[in-house]
């Protein structure tokens, strides 16, 4: 495809995204089915442009004084990808593939410097926090509550492209062997955890490195998992020989990290309310060499779950949430998020915590995790839970991480800056270059 055609395609896809309010991935796939002429490089380029337009939607709307898909795409080309106004004008006007010649107003906006990385702190001071931080205006009170004057800075970090993070699976290999194998895809060690690695974010115009086809992945040596997610799993602490229940296991990323922490000792149970979400875990567990895992199907194994009540040393709760912490990877989600969805998630979190607590044995631990940065889904939910369950007490999540054996000296220093007054952790891309996660640890003391 010609570049002008790619630009037109991006506008078409974002128009569909706005009209149907479906995930961007769905809109992209639907477009691709009717565009068989588009090759892999074309699709990667178009997808990258759409994602960057959504990552920076609020600031691009401010820069262009318009919120149409066309304005977002043209603005992203100029202010995110660095194309000149002349280059954009030529692409737009190219017939028959371009989206149409620029208007005088569009050309004026594209030649201005109201929006762009070069404006730095001045930009943050000149516009409202939600514009500087590229988050929905209605979430401003929640962002300010969580981060105060740093709300725009934290939001801007959530609007950046994410790296490809990997967890080295010590059930199958050593960090040294895995890192040697990852050199082929430019993977390097991450200094915060002994089993973490990273491939730097690729240029948005290019395809993401094909990690899942390299030998190290197929052998089960590595798993694709964000650093924040790895930190959350490690907060289970010293679990070798323990009985552990992953209560909201989903596709099993943290489940497999728990299996590695346990070194295949004792028993790890994985349960999720939705049996469909558990389906990938069967294959993933086999590839990872997780032999101590029992997957509990919510439809056929209800008695098996009930039998675990009051028996677990650790219950790990990766609760359903709004996903504000993973906006880097799913920027479309922040513009589809609505207040009623937040209210539903908060009710679900209360229910999940109360349900999961039944499985903790006396002296056992409960780990509460969300990929949300909002205190409404984190501190507030824990406060409500502790009021209703006075037998549980807060513990320091950083101490649990240290007990896992994965935390490095550098990692402890970095995560100390992420501690909340109650001893939980709120990790963010602005602080440690990970997705955003909240991690709290509780113990049943009586």
| Residue 86, annotated as binding a ligand | no
Query: Ramachandran region of residue 402, left (φ > 0), alpha (ψ -120 to 50) or beta?
Result: alpha
Indicate the SS3 state at residue 246: strand
Instruction: Tell me how far apart the alpha carbons of residues 302 and 204 are, in angstroms, rounded to a whole number.
Output: 45
Respond yes or no: is residue 371 known to be catalytic.
Answer: yes
Q: Tokens for 98?
A: 């371009």
**How far is residue 57's CA from residue 328's CA, in Å, rounded to a whole number?**
13
Return the number of other C-beta atoms located less than 10 Å from residue 412's C-beta: 13
Q: Of the listed 248, 321, 371, 418, which one is catalytic?
A: 371
Q: Are 265 and 292 in contact (CB under 8 A)?
A: yes
Q: How do strand 312-318 and strand 243-246 relate by DSSP bridges?
A: parallel
Q: Residue written as tokens 């001071």?
A: 125
Per the CB < 8 A criterion, the answer to whether 274 and 249 are in contact is no
Q: Are strands 164-168 and 222-224 parallel, antiparallel or unpaired?
A: antiparallel
Whether residue 246 is annotated as binding a ligand: the answer is no
- What is the DSSP-derived secondary structure letter of residue 193? B
In total, the chain counts a number of residues equal to 446
Residues in contact with 166: Cβ distance below 8 Å, sequence separation at least 6, in sequence order: 182, 187, 196, 197, 198, 199, 211, 222, 223, 224, 225
Q: What span, in angstroms and rounded, lies between the C-alpha atoms of 9 and 18? A: 14
The residues annotated as belonging to the active site are 371
Annotated binding site for S-adenosyl-L-methionine: 272, 318
Annotated binding site: 272, 318
């Amino acid at each position: 495809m010609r570049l002008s055609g790619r630009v037109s395609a991006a506008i078409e896809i974002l128009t569909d995204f706005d009209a149907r309010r479906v995930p961007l991935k769905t809109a992209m796939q639907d477009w691709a089915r009717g565009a068989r002429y588009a090759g892999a490089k074309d699709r990667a380029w178009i997808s990258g442009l759409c994602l960057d337009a959504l990552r920076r939607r609020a600031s691009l709307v401010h820069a262009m004084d318009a919120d149409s898909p066309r304005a977002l795409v043209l603005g992203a080309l100029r202010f995110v990808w660095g194309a000149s106004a002349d280059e954009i004008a030529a692409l737009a006007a190219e017939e028959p593939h371009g989206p149409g010649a620029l208007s005088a107003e569009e050309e004026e906006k594209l030649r201005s410097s109201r929006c762009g990385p070069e404006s730095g702190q001045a930009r943050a001071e000149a516009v409202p926090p939600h514009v500087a931080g590229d988050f929905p205006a209605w979430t401003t009170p929640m962002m300010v509550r969580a981060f105060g004057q740093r709300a725009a800075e934290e939001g801007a970090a959530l609007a950046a492209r994410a790296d490809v993070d990997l967890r080295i699976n010590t059930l199958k290999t050593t960090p040294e062997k895995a890192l040697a194998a990852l050199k082929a895809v430019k993977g390097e060690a991450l200094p915060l955890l002994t089993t973490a690695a990273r491939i730097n974010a690729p240029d948005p115009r290019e395809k993401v490195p094909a990690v899942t086809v390299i030998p190290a992945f197929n052998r089960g040596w590595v798993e694709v998992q964000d650093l924040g997610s790895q930190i959350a799993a490690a907060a289970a602490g010293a679990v070798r020989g323990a009985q552990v229940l992953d209560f909201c296991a989903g596709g099993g990323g943290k489940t497999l990290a728990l299996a590695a922490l346990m070194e295949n000792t004792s028993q790890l149970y994985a349960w999720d309310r939705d049996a469909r979400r558990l389906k990938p875990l069967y294959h993933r567990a086999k590839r990872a060499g997780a032999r101590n895992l029992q997957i509990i199907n919510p439809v056929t194994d209800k008695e098996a779950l009930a039998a675990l009540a009051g028996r677990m040393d650790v219950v790990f709760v990766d609760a359903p949430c709004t996903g504000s912490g993973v906006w880097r990877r799913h920027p479309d989600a922040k513009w589809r998020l609505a207040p009623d969805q937040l209210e539903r998630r908060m009710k679900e979190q209360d229910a999940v915590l109360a349900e999961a607590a039944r499985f903790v044995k006396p002296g056992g631990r409960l780990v509460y995790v969300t990929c949300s940065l909002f205190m409404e889904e984190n501190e507030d939910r824990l406060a409500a839970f502790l009021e209703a369950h006075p037998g549980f007490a807060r513990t320091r999540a950083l101490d649990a991480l240290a007990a896992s054996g994965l935390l490095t000296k550098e990692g402890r220093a970095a995560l100390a800056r992420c501690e909340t007054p109650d001893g939980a952790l709120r990790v963010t891309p602005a602080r440690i270059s990970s997705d955003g996660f909240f991690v709290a640890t509780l113990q049943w003391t009586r």
